Amino acid sequence: MTFRHAAALVALSALTACAPGGVRVTHPELRSQYSRTEMLYAFHGRDAEVVVNGSPFPGATSAGAATTAVMNRVPVGPRTNFTTAPGESVRRPYRVVLAYAPAVAVTGEGLCARPDLPTRPRTGEGTALQGALCHGPNLLSGAYATAGPVDGPDDPRFQELVARLTFALFPIENPQHSCAPNIIRNC
Q: Name the 3-class secondary structure at 159.
A: helix
pLDDT in tens, 49-62: 999 999 898 877 78
Q: In the 3-class helix/strand/coil scheme, how is 32-47 assigned residue by residue?
A: CCCCHHHHHHHHCCEE
Q: How many percent of the chain have pLDDT more than 70?
A: 82
Q: Is residue 168 part of a domain?
A: yes
Q: Is residue 144 part of a domain?
A: yes
Q: Is residue 27 part of a domain?
A: yes
Q: Is residue 184 part of a domain?
A: no
User: What's the structural domain count of the chain?
Assistant: 1
Q: Is residue 98 part of a domain?
A: yes
Q: Is residue 102 part of a domain?
A: yes
Q: Is residue 183 part of a domain?
A: no
Query: What predicted TM-score, i.e. pTM, was given to this entire model?
Result: 0.82
CA distance 132 to 141: 6
What pLDDT was estimated at residue 178?
64
pLDDT in tens, 7-45: 444 444 444 444 445 899 988 888 988 888 889 999 999
CA distance 106 to 6: 31
Higher pLDDT, 67 or 101: 67
Q: Which DSSP category does 176 fall into?
A: G
Q: Which domain holds residue 96?
A: 3-177
Q: Is residue 16 part of a domain?
A: yes
